Every structure is written in structure tokens, then in C-alpha cells.
Amino acid sequence: MTDAPLIAIVDDTREIRTLLQEAMEDAGFQTVCFASATMFEQSMRSLAPQVCIVDLGLPDRDGLSLVNKLSSETDAAIMIISGRTALPDRIAGLELGADDYVTKPFELAEVVTRVKVLLRRRKTQETDTAVSDIRLGPWTVNLDRHVLMSETGETKRLSYAEVKILELFTGAPNRLITRERLLDHLREDGSEAYDRAIDVRISRLRNKLGDDPVNPTIIKTIYGAGYIFIANLT
């Protein structure tokens, strides 16, 4: 059992923690549970969970800030489970780095299946090294590790969605990628994706790459149509 993936569950409701813990362990996973963001953060240095399940309504602070921290500082896949069902909340969670968003009430079987999808995704990324390092201006993009590395040693984390977008762009340079194709690409493995979220994801990716949307050198917007990846790949 020691080789089983570790799933971290962060939810302030004991009953939900117990239900999720039992379902994950029945599926063969190891689990560790926390009732607050603070308790989880105190243990982060000694833990290396493959998946973190995070409730947004935590008692000590909004779960979105924890999601953002996890996305920036760890390699874990992140699943939000929340009673917030409004589209802006779902978009905010995904844009801050979550890989999946499940609303309450939920079916345990679905949550277990979604965790398995996240783990399968992770395994594929670790074993698929066909295109790993890409040079974009001052940055080296490592798609396997989800990081940007500068010539000075600075690193920036990339979300799963940002890596998926870069994979699509670098596979079709100087060609129009429509918004519909981007959405289909993000949804192909069951991921959540919304039309309004595309612009936000592109904006975040541009910011990380230092690409000016007015005078772009990497991602050019074709208004009403989509985007073109115009960078020279080295």
C-alpha cells in the first residue's frame, strides 16, 4: 500500500472528510485529511500528495487562496469540491490552478473516477517526453514538469491548462487556433473548460511569458477567430 498514490483531503466538514477518505481508501489510495488550510499548510513540507481535494469554504480562509498556493508551489493535481455552483466561481477556481471542479452534492463514484483521471494524466505527463523543453525567448518551457525556467534561474509554475494550451500551440505554429479548438483540446480528457475562461487562461500565460498583447511576439490574438502562436521555436 506504500506505493499507492496519496490523496490529501481538505474540508472542514467531518462527515464529508470521512466519506471521501473511505471512498479513496476503498479505491486503493492512501489518504491524509485536514479540517483547515492552516493545518494542511503546516504539513505540506513533509507531504507529497499526488492529488489535493480542496473545499472552498474553509474556516480560516477562502480555499481559493490555498488552491493558488498549491498550484504555484507543488506538483500536485488539484480538485475543488465546493457548494459554490455559479459559473464565475468555477472559472475562478480553474484559473487559479485547479485541474477539476466538482460541486456539492456529489456522487462518490464520480469523485473517485475523476481522481483516477487526474492521476492518469499525471502518469502520462511523467512518461511522455516526446516534446519536453521548448525555448521561448528568455524562457525554457518544460512541459513535463509544468515550469518556465529563465536564464537567471527564475522559475514559474504552469497550470495543467496552460501546459495543454502550449502543447496545442507548439504543435501548430503560425496557424490559427480557434477558440472552439482550444475548448475541445482542454475538454478531451474530461477537464472543465468554459469559453469565458479561454481569454483568462491566455492572459495568464502571456503574463508568465512576458508577452505584450499589444505587440505580441509569442501569442497573437485574431479577434473574433482565435489565436496564432507566432514565436520561433528553438
pLDDT in tens, 116-156: 988 887 766 555 444 568 888 888 888 877 889 988 888 88
In this prediction, residue 169 carries a pLDDT of 92
Residue 126 is predicted with a pLDDT of: 54
Query: Is this model's pTM higher than 0.95 or not?
Result: no
Q: What is the reported pLDDT for 11? A: 96
| pLDDT at residue 193 in the model | 63
User: By CB neighbour count within 10 A (0-12 exposed, 13-18 middle, 19+ buried), where does 183 fall?
Assistant: middle
Q: What is the pLDDT of residues 205-233, one digit of tens each?
A: 999 999 998 899 999 999 888 999 998 87
Helices (H), the chain: 14-26, 37-43, 63-73, 87-95, 108-127, 160-171, 179-187, 195-209
pLDDT cut 70: percent of the chain above it: 91
Give the domains, in start order, of the chain with CATH numbers: 6-127 (3.40.50.2300), 133-229 (1.10.10.10)
Sequence-distant (≥ 6) Cβ neighbours of residue 87 within 8 angstroms: 194, 196
Q: Which amino acid is at 12?
A: D
Q: Which residues touch 13 (CB under 8 Å, ≥6 apart)?
A: 55
Q: Which residues of the chain have pLDDT under 50?
A: 1, 128-130
- What pLDDT sits at residue 129? 43
